A and B are shown apart, each in its own frame.
Chain A
């Protein structure tokens, strides 16, 4: 980057992200290598064991979508278009700084976008199986984990020892446990923080690049909300309807959903999606063979790209109970076939649980805020009676 002008986009980042950019530049200048990731299935322990930093590349703004649409079809997931757009315009510093980009064959759109991305970046695509419980899928994923290990060792001239991997498995488990402790604060009635505040910490934690910094920041957030709540400060009215968010990844412009919910009498108490519980819910078994343990834990993540997707329904059910949800609100992105089709099944599951359910489909623009507000407000009005 050197003396080149910072892109305007940096001003729209939250503080954590802006600071993350600066930290990133410093880290690179000090010789650290960076892995860019796109998915909760990515086994980040491998990057940690290789002494690398890792950062999520899922873009959250529509700024570069017009650039992406010169090559990608318009009728495509906005996250895919946006991320690709940021890559080809050099507007995302994390994409720019990534020495390797690791993707998975999660959905059709991502699969094909990675082909184009590999023309301009060093891309490694992992073959994510379509199902989770059968032995051949589990073996496939195990071998893909080993293949990634080999790739990192080769590209970055490192050796990942058994001690290295065991240490970082433990560290990442500690991070998960602490993030869980943080978001579980909202199980109380009323929750000590708004969904927006929770999302800001969950989303922002991705951009802290040292284990120690991450742990310290999350602990500081826990302390802050616990002590405020204990001293009687109430950030959320008792009457707010408790909402669990599910569906596609949320962050940046799609925060509009959380903002709207919290403007019309709701409060988001938990996120089942990528930004939340999905990532933290399960730990890697520290007593099993490390690569097998990593493979098994990651493959078990519930997501609509899996068929069948029972683990997602199971997590949703558990979260509804734990957080005493009044309702589930799902956000799907336009052209996301797996989530959009799965809505029907989630609705059935919600009916079984007797939890009211509502789904909205949106994109990365801000032009549908009024329409979303009418729908979400009307849904919350049905909870009032």
Chain B
């Protein structure tokens, strides 16, 4: 058992890292993955070791995420599914599952006996992921980081398209017919939430089950509220939710 573990979650948009000391979370750090995921991951890990004065040999490094296999300095790899489950349970121990909406994929993980029971991933389609939100924000000219402050209404315009690409055309159509941007943005958020409803059904999530939201979109209260309204589950979030994968990877370092 090593004193320190670092989990690196190399995502499609952001690279996240978490440092555990004696099993306790010490710090988290993030930066853009960029077009050089390996280099970014290495720099992120090294910056942590340096600033915390930790020698590499005292530390077990576990990689997860889309780019996990290319991080050759890692001692172990773990899929993001197991990582988000472990990380999620460490942030909120009494959950029945995890909902992760990331940059380019989304996943729903159902837990049983403190382990992954079933899971469903959507990594083939932009609908229901951060990518759809990003595209929509660009079309609506709203900074993606300001969506919570931008939205002052709960009214929404329904987005009917299944596909994010067709939905973009639908957005432009709604704008031309004079619908307010707030209503359209709310519609986008609900559309993402409805994809999650579909996935929750397939993993037999029960009404009232408690899920923790992880991934970048977990920091948008509007998104969390929409999930609560639309799914019938109790959806929580946590300040450290975007780091759930990195934390989970770090936890597995000492197992």
Is there an interface contact between B121 and A375, defined as CB atoms closer than 8 Å?
Answer: yes
Tell me, rounded to whole Å, the shortest Cβ–Cβ distance linking A378 to chain B.
4
Chain A: CB-nearest residue to B109: A378
Interface residues of A in 356-373 (CB under 8 A from B): 368, 370-371
Task: Tell me, yes or no, whether B78 is within 8 Å of chain A by CB.
Answer: yes
Q: A-side binding surface: helix, strand, loop or mixed? A: helix
A371 to B12, CA, bound (A): 13
Task: Tell me, yes or no, whether A377 is within 8 Å of chain B by CB.
Answer: yes
Interface string of B114-130 (1 = CB under 8 A from A): 01110101011000000
Interface string of B194-208 (1 = CB under 8 A from A): 000000000000000
Q: List, in ascending order, chain B residues with CB within 8 A of A377's CB.
A: 79
Partner among A368, A378, A385 whose Cβ is within 8 Å of the Cβ of B79? A378
User: Number of residue pairs across A and B with beta carbons under 8 Å?
Assistant: 29
Is there an interface contact between B115 and A374, defined as CB atoms closer than 8 Å?
Answer: no
Interface size counted on chain A using CB atoms at 8 A = 10
Task: Tell me, yes or no, whether B80 is within 8 Å of chain A by CB.
Answer: yes
Interface hub of B80, B82, B119 (most chain A Cβ within 10 A): B82
Task: Tell me, yes or no, whether B81 is within 8 Å of chain A by CB.
Answer: yes
Q: List, in ascending order, chain B residues with CB within 8 A of A213's CB.
A: none
Partner among A368, A370, A374, A381 whose Cβ is within 8 Å of the Cβ of B116? A381
Q: List, in ascending order, chain A residues with CB within 8 A of B121's CB.
A: 371, 374-375
Interface size counted on chain B using CB atoms at 8 A = 13
Task: Tell me, yes or no, whether A75 is within 8 Å of chain B by CB.
Answer: no
Chain B: CB-nearest residue to A263: B69
Is there an interface contact between B81 and A374, defined as CB atoms closer than 8 Å?
Answer: yes
Task: Tell me, yes or no, whether A382 is within 8 Å of chain B by CB.
Answer: yes
Q: List, in ascending order, chain B residues with CB within 8 A of A381's CB.
A: 78-79, 81-82, 116
Tell me, rounded to whole Å, the shortest Cβ–Cβ distance linking A42 to chain B.
35
Interface residues of A in 104-149 (CB under 8 A from B): none
Is there an interface contact between A378 and B124, defined as CB atoms closer than 8 Å?
Answer: no
Partner-A contacts on B (CB < 8 A): 66, 78-82, 115-117, 119, 121, 123-124
Partner-B contacts on A (CB < 8 A): 368, 370-371, 374-375, 377-378, 381-382, 385
User: Can you report 12 A-B residue pairs in the complex whose CB atoms are below 8 A from each other?
Assistant: A370-B66, A371-B121, A371-B123, A371-B124, A374-B80, A378-B80, A378-B116, A381-B79, A381-B116, A382-B82, A382-B116, A385-B115
Contacts A378-B119, A382-B115, A382-B116 supplied; 6 other A-B pairs, CB < 8 Å: A368-B124, A371-B124, A377-B79, A378-B79, A381-B116, A382-B82
